[in-house]
Copies of this chain bind each other. A is one copy, B any other.
Amino acid sequence: MARPPSALRGHILDSALQLFATQGYKGASLHDIAQVAGCSKASLLYHFVSKEAILAELLTPAGEGLAALDARLSGLEGEEAAEAAVTGFVDLAMRFRREVKVLFQDIPVLAGHPALGAVPAVVDRLMAAMVEGSTEPKALVTAYMVVGAVAVTCAADVPVEDDDLRAELIKGALRTLGRQSR
């Protein structure tokens, strides 16, 4: 039969993401991943140098998306920055729902990854953009709330259509920040 460059590699990533999201990084063994992917454990380590490498490659797109959002925000100020931060973060979390689920499950494992090392700083700047305008120090709490609300709701299996979920998240987030949505 024909031999494509390797369809298995993609299946491995899919299987790993699914298992990491449901069982956590430590909870999903290479054996489990191989079983779901329909190949041998040794095959995983042929395509990836280690288990951590699978995780890193899995989370890289989300990390890049976050970095891109950060860059996009750097040119904005005030009301405009806050709104862009909210909508941008909601869109990002919607796009990477399963990745967000993984992030929650094994935070310490992810802290040291080169692909994700910048995440905390970027999230800090995201929150700063959200509270842009309000000078009171306690506004930081509402920014935490928005990040948590969006992340958890996206990671959860809310019985709502994606478009409705997105709209509701943005509306709710802006309301949390004390801003009325346009």
Contacts and interface: CB of A to CB of B under 8 A. Distances in A.
A27 interface: yes
A172 B27 contact: no
A145 B159 contact: no
Given A138-B160, A141-B158, A145-B169, A24 B153 contact: no
| Number of copies of this chain that the complex holds | 2
A106 B105 contact: yes
A175 interface: yes
A137 B173 CA distance: 18
A168 B141 contact: yes
Contacts of A152: 144-145, 147-149, 151-152
Q: Chain A interface: which size bin?
A: 35 or more
A138 B168 contact: yes
A149 B168 contact: no
Interface string A77-104: 0000000000000000000000000001
A141 to B, nearest CB: 4
A26 interface: yes
Given A105-B24, A107-B105, A156 B144 contact: yes
Contacts of A108: 22-24, 27
Given A107-B105, A145-B172, A24 B22 contact: no
Contacts of A24: 24, 26, 105-108
12 contacts: A105-B107, A137-B160, A138-B164, A144-B149, A144-B153, A144-B158, A148-B149, A148-B151, A148-B152, A175-B175, A175-B178, A176-B176
